[in-house]
Structure 1
């Protein structure tokens, strides 16, 4: 019979082999670690991964059922260069009181992208309306929440579908001509201020969208290099979307559509937003005078990640106390 020492040696060798295989796998695909962290977050919050066909695209989304049947369904739409995972911190704070549906928009994240398709405000709004119709449950009100570009898409969708969308939340939303800032000037000049192609531009991107040092994600090498390489591959798509939502005839469509939003509504911004200047909230409020207005301090463009407790509390206030015009 083999000795205990031999057994321990065998276990150590097997463990070392598995460790080296894991290192080799991560070396081939460092983004695997990022996806693993996202999967762990999803599991911890109690979300499951789902797919559905809507608007001619395959959507990938995270879902969590409410504790009580018939609870409102919250559909949470991410922004430019974002993904469904941006909403996870806020989703955790909402507990089990609501049914949560958090998709990757077509063209972004794990959802389907098709060459030559339009991914601007109008086209995505039409797809979002079909997605909502696919995932809605009878007897459950739909609360549509959108961040940044997603806020612009949500504004158009809510205006066009007042019977299907019962409440609306716009977080740092694009789609109005806000006070000039560096980000806006670069967009109007034909640039992509979010472009990432090296360490310096990755740091600039993170510093632009986040305000608090504690909120900024830590990306050690080789993860940082994997993110840079991935973003470089996304550059043509990002530019095409930015051209559509930032410099075309539909750039300010969400602001115009907002005048038709009669549903109970929430406007939430961060005072230090360096992307969509806080002056945008007042412009939306002119068109939505019935909306609850929340201005947070000490956070940047990613309000839903930097201040998830406050953002979740604002959503709950919208649902419990929101009053139509």
Structure 2
């Protein structure tokens, strides 16, 4: 290539890059939330996940899924793991754990009805009991021929406890991660809930930062949401405030609030209880309360992480889940 042609090629490449940057900048200016969506898509691809939809229990569910590796004749018999997120959470919360688990199992991570991309219907109940029945219907839709390994985090843990107790045919093993649903030792979060507040409420970038700092202990695990995306996320969360308050009234202040702990006594399946010692949301004392009701459960207390064990310590959580699947023994 001559010097003139080389210069033309470089100038063309630079011009093309400039156009791409201008178009991308304009798109981000119109919708800064694209930064968050792009990061979620990157994490999903890194974990080998694909997006799917299904109708179950009168709702449209959106879920992420990865099939097990097809490396042997019994691939179709490999366990199915269904993961249920917590209050203000979404399927994306499970992506670090999904990545750590590898491709040994089929993984299914839904947005609960009312949350994330799944359908929300005005006037519907999205408390512990109603959601546990919907989760059972979802399991029948995505795994009709066999029980699943059902994992739940935070509010999702309370939902999972009820599902495992009331729908034993759908659940072969159960894991509760930093689970709500028992009267744990008083902490600031619990006191605020009992006082009628929403400790997770977000209405500006500063409160978004406080929310992240509350649920995470490990600095490197905290999601990075730069301005102006942080302002967009804060405004979106502010619009969710009425729904969040209604759900919190059901799971934190109604006669449902301790039903998961009561239901845990009826769980007969192999089980895992996993907490983080620095959890500032569901106090670690909750592990002992669940353990007293589930003597068959393996108990794992991780140090150096907060409420988001599944994101802060995914390798440790993945090891515990693998142990549950391979060595769990029913009582």
Offset of 1:200 from its aligned partner? 2.2
Q: Is 1:231 the equivalent of 2:237?
A: yes
CA contact (8 A) 1:71 1:141 kept: no
Contact 2:85/2:111 (CA < 8 Å) preserved in 1?
yes
Q: Partner of 2:171: helix, strand, or coil?
A: coil
| CA positional deviation for 1:189 | 0.4
The match for 1:111 is 118
Specify the alignment match of 1:197 in structure 2.
Answer: 203
Structure 2: 5+ residue stretches without partners:
70-74
Aligned partner of residue 143 in structure 1, secondary structure: strand
The residue that corresponds to 1:46 in the other structure is 48
Moved over 2 A (4+): 2-18
Q: 2:265 aligns with which of 259, 264, 286?
A: 259
Q: Aligned partners of 1:54, 1:137: CA distance in 2, in Å? A: 12
Residue of structure 2 in register with 1:71 after alignment: 78
Give how far 1:178 is off.
0.5
Give the structure 2 partner of residue 55 of structure 1. 57
Equivalent in the alignment of 2:221:
215
* Count of residues in Structure 1 that have an aligned counterpart in Structure 2: 323
SS in 2 for 1:293: strand
2:72 corresponds to: none
Using the TM superposition, give the Cα deviation of residue 217 of structure 1 relative to its aligned residue in structure 2, in angstroms. Answer: 1.9
Contact 2:147 2:169 in 1 (8 A): no
Matched residues in 2 for 1:194 and 1:154: separation?
Answer: 21
Query: 1:5 offset after TM fit, Å?
Result: 5.3
What is the Cα deviation at residue 192 of structure 1? 0.4
Paired residues of 2:185 and 2:283 also in contact (CA < 8 A): yes
1:94 has 2:128 as partner: no
In the alignment, which of 153, 156, 167 is matched to residue 162 of structure 2? 156
**Structural RMSD (CA):** 1.5
CA separation of 1:3 and 1:235: change in aligned 2, threshold 3 A:
same
Structure 1 segment 262-277 matched on structure 2, within 5 A: 262-277=268-283
Q: Distance in 1 between matches of 2:102 and 2:56?
A: 28
Whole-Å separation in 2 of the counterparts to 1:300 and 1:237: 25
1:293 aligned partner: 299
Deviates more, 1:198-207 or 1:167-176: 198-207
SS in 1 for 2:295: coil
Q: TM-score, normalised by structure 2?
A: 0.94
Change (3 A) 1:316 1:3: closer
CA 281–3 in structure 1, closer or farther in 2 if over 3 Å, else same: closer
1:146 aligned partner = 152
**Mean alpha-carbon deviation: is it higher for 305-314 or for 196-205?**
196-205
SS at match of 2:77: coil
Deviations 1:47-79 (A, max 9, x none): 111000001111000111112221000000000
User: What TM-score results when the alignment is normalised by the length of structure 1?
Assistant: 0.96
SS in 2 for 1:166: strand
Q: What is the DSSP-based 3-state SS (H/G/I as helix, E as strand, rest coil) of the residue aligned with 1:110?
A: coil
- Partner-residue secondary structure (3-state), 1:150: helix
2:251 pairs with 236, 245, 256, which one?
245
List gaps (5 residues or longer) in structure 1. none
Do 2:52 and 2:62's aligned partners in 1 also have CA atoms closer than 8 Å? yes
